[in-house]
Amino acid sequence: MAAAIAGAKRGYNRSSDDPQVYKDLFQRSFDEMLKDVCSRAERKRVLKNTKGSYALAYLPVGLALFHEHKAMQPCERHARVFAYPNMASVFDIPLEYWERFCAQQSSLYNDAA
């Protein structure tokens, strides 16, 4: 959420700079993940741990591309991402957030090994 808000504040997302848009997007993503991806037991555990809120969950985002324009004008490099499972839910975030996500993911894999 913080990454989406930071991208909106920097003017990357021409679609909206309203935080509520991103809250709604993440809640939909959370609901879809629970409905379509999780088993019944997983869904029950996730709902208990998150109290049914995306804000207390870890939601996957995927990289669409690195981007260097906003409103057709050159700008600092940033990441265009999408919220799973809806690949049409595209928004832009500052590059440092994407790099932080990658470092966290790498740390999780290294810890599991």
Amino acid at 13: N
Entry pTM: 0.81
Phi, psi of 62 (to 5 degrees): -115, 150
* Cβ proximity of 23 and 1 under 8 Å: yes
Digitized pLDDT (tens) for each residue of the chain, 113 residues in all: 889 989 988 988 876 778 888 899 999 999 988 887 778 899 899 999 999 999 999 888 899 999 998 888 899 999 999 988 888 888 999 999 999 988 887 776 666 55
Q: What is the pLDDT of residue 112?
A: 57
Q: Give the C-alpha separation, 14 to 3, whole Å.
A: 15
Question: Position of tokens 């109290």?
Answer: 51
pLDDT of residue 110: 66
